[in-house]
C-alpha cells in the first residue's frame, strides 16, 4: 500500500469516526421501556402515600398495589380508605403514560444525574389528556421523571429498587402538583413509596373487580 492510499484511508476513518452517533427513534425508546416488564406477569407491593398541600394533608396512608398483564391495576386500602395522585402511570409505567399518545424524541440530557432521552407524548385523540414530557434512562430504559404540559402541572421523579435480583420496580415517586387558582399556586407535594414486592406469584383476576377502588386525588 503506497503512502497516498494509506493517507486517504486514514482520513476516511477519521471522518467516519467523527460523525455523531444516531439517536434511537422515539418509538424504539418507548418499546424498549415497555419491554422492561416483559418478564413480569403480575406483581403486588405495599404502597405508602404522604401528601401535603393547601387543601389536603395525608400522612402515612398505607395501601396494597396490584398489577397484572396486560394492564390491570388496583389499589386497596390496608386501613381506612385508599387514594392515589392522578396520572402517575403505575403498573407498567411507560405503557400507561404513552397509551393513546404519539411520542417525539426532543433531546438527550441528564436528569437526577442520569443520562436520559427526553420524549414528548402528545395525545392522539380529543380525550383532554395533556401532553407530557418523559425522561427515559438511556441505559436501563426506565422512567426517571415526567412533567405535564398545560395549566395543571404534575412533575414526578422516580427511584427504583431491584427485586428478586432481576426486576427494576419503583421504590419511590415524588410528585409536585400545581393547580391554577390555588393560593399562590403553591404545589401540593406527594411522595409514594413501595415495599414488600412480590413478583409473578399468580394474582387472581378477582382482585381487579371495580368495587372499592382507590380514589384519585
Q: Tens digit of pLDDT for each residue in 142-180?
A: 999 999 998 888 999 999 999 999 999 999 999 998 876
Would you tell me which CATH number, out of the four given (2.40.30.20, 2.50.20.10, 3.40.50.720, 1.10.540.10), belongs to the domain 25-209?
2.50.20.10
Over range 176-193, report the average pLDDT.
Answer: 77
**How far lies 127's CA from each of 10, 102, 122, 124, 130, in Å?**
56, 14, 11, 8, 9
pLDDT digits (tens, 9 = 90+) for 2-49: 555 443 343 343 333 333 334 689 999 999 999 999 999 999 999 999
Domain extent listing, the chain:
25-209
Which of these, 214, 209, 215, lies nearest to 68 by C-alpha position? 209
Question: At CA 199, angle to CA 205 and CA 157, rounded to 5?
Answer: 105
pLDDT in tens, 71-100: 999 999 987 777 777 777 889 998 888 888
Amino acid at each position: 500500500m503506497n503512502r497516498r492510499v494509506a493517507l486517504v484511508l486514514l482520513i476516511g476513518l477519521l471522518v467516519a469516526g467523527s460523525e455523531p452517533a444516531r439517536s434511537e427513534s422515539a418509538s424504539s425508546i418507548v418499546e424498549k421501556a415497555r419491554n422492561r416488564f416483559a418478564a413480569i406477569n403480575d406483581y403486588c407491593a405495599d404502597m405508602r402515600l404522604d401528601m401535603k398541600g393547601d387543601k389536603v394533608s395525608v400522612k402515612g396512608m398505607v395501601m396494597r398495589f396490584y398489577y397484572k398483564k396486560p394492564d390491570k391495576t388496583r389499589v386497596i386500602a390496608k386501613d381506612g380508605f385508599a387514594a392515589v395522585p392522578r396520572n402517575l402511570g403505575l403498573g407498567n409505567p411507560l405503557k400507561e403514560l404513552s397509551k393513546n399518545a404519539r411520542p417525539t424524541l426532543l433531546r438527550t440530557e441528564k436528569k437526577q444525574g442520569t443520562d436520559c432521552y427526553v420524549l414528548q407524548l402528545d395525545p392522539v385523540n380529543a380525550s383532554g389528556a395533556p401532553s407530557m414530557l418523559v425522561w427515559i434512562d438511556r441505559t436501563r430504559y426506565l422512567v426517571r421523571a415526567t412533567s405535564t404540559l398545560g395549566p395543571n402541572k404534575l412533575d414526578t421523579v422516580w427511584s427504583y429498587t431491584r427485586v428478586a435480583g432481576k426486576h427494576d420496580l419503583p421504590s419511590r415517586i415524588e410528585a409536585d402538583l400545581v393547580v391554577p387558582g390555588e393560593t399562590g399556586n403553591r404545589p401540593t407535594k406527594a411522595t409514594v413509596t413501595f415495599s414488600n414486592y412480590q413478583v409473578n406469584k399468580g394474582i387472581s383476576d378477582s382482585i381487579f373487580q371495580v368495587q372499592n377502588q382507590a380514589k384519585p386525588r
